[in-house]
Amino acid sequence: MSYPNNIILVGLMGAGKTTVGRMLAKHLGMRFIDSDHEIERRTGVKIPLIFELEGEEGFRNRETAVLSQLCRMDNVVLATGGGAVLREENRKFLKQSGIVVYLRAQVRDLYQRTRHDKNRPLLQTADPQAKLRELFGQRDPIYRQLADIIMDTGDQNIHGLVRRLIQKLTDGQASNMQTLTVDLGARSYPIHIGAGLLQQAQLILPHLAQKRVAIVTNTTVAPLYLDQLSATLAQQGVSVLPIVLPDGEAYKNSETLNQIYNALLENRCERKTTLIALGGGVIGDLTGYAAATFLRGVPFIQVPTTLLAQVDSSVGGKTGINHPLGKNMIGAFYQPQVVLADTSTLDTLPGRELSAGLAEVIKYGLIRDLPFFEWLENNMDRLLARDKDALAYAIRRSCENKAEIVASDEREGGVRALLNLGHTFGHAIEAGMGYGNWLHGEAVAGGTVLAADLSQRMGWLSEQDVERTRRLFQRAGLPDHAPDLGVDAYLDFMGLDKKVEGGKIRFVLLKSIGEALVTADVAAD
Ligand SMILES: NC(=O)c1ccc[n+]([C@@H]2O[C@H](COP(=O)([O-])OP(=O)(O)OC[C@H]3O[C@@H](n4cnc5c(N)ncnc54)[C@H](O)[C@@H]3O)[C@@H](O)[C@H]2O)c1
């Protein structure tokens, strides 16, 4: 899928959307439309009069109606009104319609540019500068979370600004990047998916609170990607502290966590230093937990480099470490600022690890997305051949499913538990076989087959559908049955799982392919 072909400018009044938009459209040979001007053209009156007659609510209704139409057009640079982002439905239209660019300016500059303008109804107050400050506080986080690109307008001249913006737009298009949002109010964050993202500093810079980061990675990933990411940031004046840990699930523990704290403290890292996790799920979980706890919380960015981490562990904010008595027993919910899933990094991933990631991809199809399951049946060979477009599609679809679930149930009070399909059995398999012998994804595949069998015994899933599930795992290079640990061992290991509530094990089972449910109503035999 290619990038949408409209460019949407958002930002406060006075940020320069109309001037920049007009010039940008001219350079790119696109049509320019200003949504406020369009409302005035259609109503035949100026905006202040609409506010006077219909109030802000009446104006916003008109704005929504106009945006819903403009967003369906093609090859347009669209300058939006400052408050266009306030309604969720508008944000959806804008996001779906094109690349969203936030023109960000300081309140001081906004005031200078708007103070003689009588066509801004919200600024007709005794203290317009205070009003602008209030609007900035309210809207800046919304613009940030919506934007694919943030441009600080500063003092630079308009030609320079437009040139830089065109550069950013072409960088993004060259990589065919796609962006989704995990919608968690003020803690929302973008997930960028595409090839070559490690070279794109502009995807990271707007999320840094200071020009200092610690990149946490391991001895396998460091020689492959640490220099690349460090150079991208260093070229922009960001100082980088590399923290290279030993590789493996066996090191996802308190000793390794302490190595991160030690490096951060010895190098006097501060509350504003961002931790960047560069690696698979182990590095992501460890780094996220370090970020949640170091100085009671520092900013954190995920740069996942395994398929499993790109489709699952880097999204949703679960962080943590293992305890000798159980996996992921110590942890915190802590959301990243941004996730960069660079599909180029998958080129070096061992085949077995690619397959392990596919287990979590198949999981989304099974629990809530039958069309995706069917797509996987038809495209498994392309995925195994690492076809970039197929991988990007599978990652996007997986992240969309996860983002929707996480947005509606961040802390696993309900529907998020469905993501644990195969995991209660899977954790028992991982522990029972000895951590590291079965990869997490392999154990999830084995666990899912057990869950499918149990669903059939409950009278829900048909035999054909159990077989269909087995076959897809098999084609993905994954186990299609669970190891025989013995019932007692399974019950023992599962008793330690976090999915236990009031002494009862809660299972995620399948009603059909594409529909899952949680139940504690399963007899031990
Ligand atoms: N937080 C969550 O929501 C969540 C969800 C699912 C899984 N997890 C956790 O994720 C972990 C599993 O993650 P994983 O499967 O990514 O394992 P992993 O992090 O151990 O990575 C697998 C292997 O691939 C190597 N590697 C990583 N990127 C590479 C690349 N681009 N090229 C070559 N080698 C590369 C790693 O060094 C490692 O040896 C488990 O600890 C699991 O509990 C967490």
CA-proximal residue: ligand 1, atom 10 (nearest): 281
Q: Which amino acid is at 447?
A: G
Return the structure tokens found at 97.
Answer: 């319609």
User: How far does residue 468's CA lie from ligand 1's centre (Å)?
Assistant: 27
Domain annotation covers residue 265: yes
Question: Rg of the chain over CA atoms, in angstroms?
Answer: 25
pLDDT score for 177:
83
147-163: buried (b, 16+ CB within 10 Å) or exposed (e) per residue? bbbbbebeeeeeeebbe
DSSP state of 75: S
How confident is residue 501, by pLDDT bands cut at 50, 70 and 90? low
Q: Dump pLDDT digits (tens) for 18-37.
A: 999 999 999 888 899 999 99
Distance CA 284, CA 352 (A): 19
Mean predicted confidence (pLDDT) in 496-505: 62
For 345, phi then psi, to 5°, come to -70, -20
Answer whether residue 356 is part of any domain: no
Q: Looking at residue 277, which CATH number applies to its domain?
A: 3.40.50.1970
Where a domain ends, among 143, 174, 205? 174
Residue 321: is its pLDDT beyond 80? Answer: yes
* Whether the CB of 361 sits within 6 Å of ligand 1: no
How confident is residue 3, by pLDDT bands cut at 50, 70 and 90? very low
Residue type present at position 384: L
What is the pLDDT, as a whole number, of residue 4? Answer: 46
305 or 114: which carries more pLDDT confidence?
Answer: 305
> Do residues 309 and 270 share a domain?
yes
Res 172 pLDDT > 90:
no
Q: Decide which of 141, 174, 207 is a domain's last residue.
A: 174
Which residues, listed in sequence order, are joined to residue 194 by a DSSP beta bridge? 342
Tally DSSP H helices, then E strands, for the chain: 18, 18
Q: Are 204 and 222 in contact (CB under 8 A)?
A: no
Q: Is 276 within the bounds of a domain? A: yes
- Which residue's CA is the closest to the ligand 1 atom numbered 33? 349
CB 168 near ligand 1, within 6 Å: no
Confirm or reject: Cβ of 221 under 6 Å from ligand 1: yes
pLDDT, position 493: 79
What token pair was written down for 434?
Answer: 């000895």
Same domain? For 288 and 412 the reply is: no
**Residues 508 and 465 reside in one and the same domain:** yes
Ligand 1 in reach of 440 Cβ (< 6 A): yes
**Residue 421 and residue 484 in one domain:** yes
Where is pLDDT greater, at 170 or 282? Answer: 282
State whether 322 and 253 are in the same domain.
yes
pLDDT recorded at residue 74: 80
Q: For the chain, how many structural domains are there in total?
A: 3
pLDDT band at 111 (very low <50, low <70, confident <90, very high): confident
User: Is any ligand 1 atom within 6 A of the Cβ of residue 353?
Assistant: yes
The listed range with the strongest mean pLDDT (115-119, 343-347, 465-469) is 465-469
Q: Per the domain annotation, does 55 fall within a domain?
A: yes
322 pocket-lining for ligand 1 (C-beta < 6 Å): no
The active-site residue out of 139, 318, 396, 499 is 318
> Which is more confident, 77 or 106?
77
Output the CA–CA distances (angstroms, integers) from residue 471 to 366, 457, 465, 468, 477, in the order listed.
13, 19, 10, 5, 10
C-alpha 293 to ligand 1 mean position (Å): 21
461 and 431 share a domain? Answer: yes
> How far is Cα 93 from Cα 69, in angstroms, rounded to an integer?
9
Of 38, 63, 249, 412, which one is the catalytic site residue? 412
Query: Is 296 labeled as catalytic in the residue annotation?
Result: yes
Domain carrying residue 276? 180-349
CATH number at residue 66: 3.40.50.300
Q: What are phi and psi of 99, to 5 degrees?
A: -85, 125
Q: Tens digit of pLDDT for each residue in 407-465?
A: 998 888 889 999 999 998 998 898 888 777 899 999 999 999 999 999 999 999 999 99
Among 174, 195, 225, residue at a domain's last position = 174
**Span 299-311, mean pLDDT?**
98
Share above pLDDT 90 across residues of the chain, in percent, rounded to a whole number:
64
Q: CA-CA distance, 507 to 495, in Å (whole number)?
A: 12
Compute the mean pLDDT over every residue in the chain, rounded to the nearest whole number: 90
Least confident of 111-120, 227-236, 339-348, 370-379: 111-120
Sign of the torsion angle spanned by Cα atoms 394, 397, 400, 404: negative
DSSP class of 126: S
Considering the domain boundaries, does residue 357 fall inside one? no
Residue 131 or residue 522, greater confidence: 131
The question of whether 468 is a catalytic residue gets the answer no
The answer to whether residues 431 and 476 belong to one domain is yes
Binning pLDDT at 50, 70 and 90, where does residue 176 land?
Answer: confident
Same domain (yes/no): 254, 304: yes
Asked whether residue 152 is domain-assigned, the answer is: yes
Residues 462, 499, single domain; the answer is: yes
Measured between alpha carbons, how far is 150 from 103 in angstroms, rounded to an integer? 6
Q: Burial letters for 328-355: b for 16+ Cβ neighbours within 10 Å, e otherwise? A: beebeebbbbbbbbbbbbbeebeeebbb
Percent of the chain with pLDDT strictly greater than 70: 95
Query: From CA 150, how far away is CA 519, in angstroms rounded?
Result: 45
Whether 354 is in a domain gets the answer: no
pLDDT at 1: 31
CA of 444 to the centre of ligand 1 (A): 13
Give yes or no for a contact between 171 and 186, defined as CB atoms under 8 angstroms apart. Answer: no
Task: Clarify whether 401 is annotated catalytic.
Answer: no
What CATH number is attached to the domain comprising 381?
1.20.1090.10
pLDDT tens, position by position, 478-487: 999 999 888 8
Helix (H) or strand (E) holding 284: helix 281-293
d(CA 185, ligand 1 centre) in Å:
28
- Determine contact, residues 304/314, Cβ cutoff 8 Å: yes
Q: What is the mean pLDDT of residues 260-270?
A: 97
- Pair (187, 132) in one structural domain: no
What is the spatial distance between Cα 466 and Cα 473, in angstroms, rounded to a whole number?
A: 11
Instruction: Compute the C-alpha angle 264/266/272, nearest 5°.
Output: 40
> Does residue 471 lie in a domain region?
yes
78 and 98 inside one domain: yes
In what helix (H) or strand (E) does residue 341 lie, and over which residues does it extend? strand 339-342
Burial class (CB in 10 A: 0-12, 13-18, 19+), 449: buried
Q: State residue 2's pLDDT score.
A: 35
pLDDT, one tens digit per residue, over 343-385 is 989 999 999 999 999 999 999 999 999 999 999 999 999 999 9
Closest CA to 270 of 213, 332, 333: 213
Confirm or reject: Cβ of 337 under 6 Å from ligand 1: no
Closest Cα partner for 481 from 457, 503, 453? 453
CA of 288: how far to CAs of 171, 311, 399, 514, in Å? 29, 16, 18, 31
Is there a single domain that holds both residue 37 and residue 105? Answer: yes
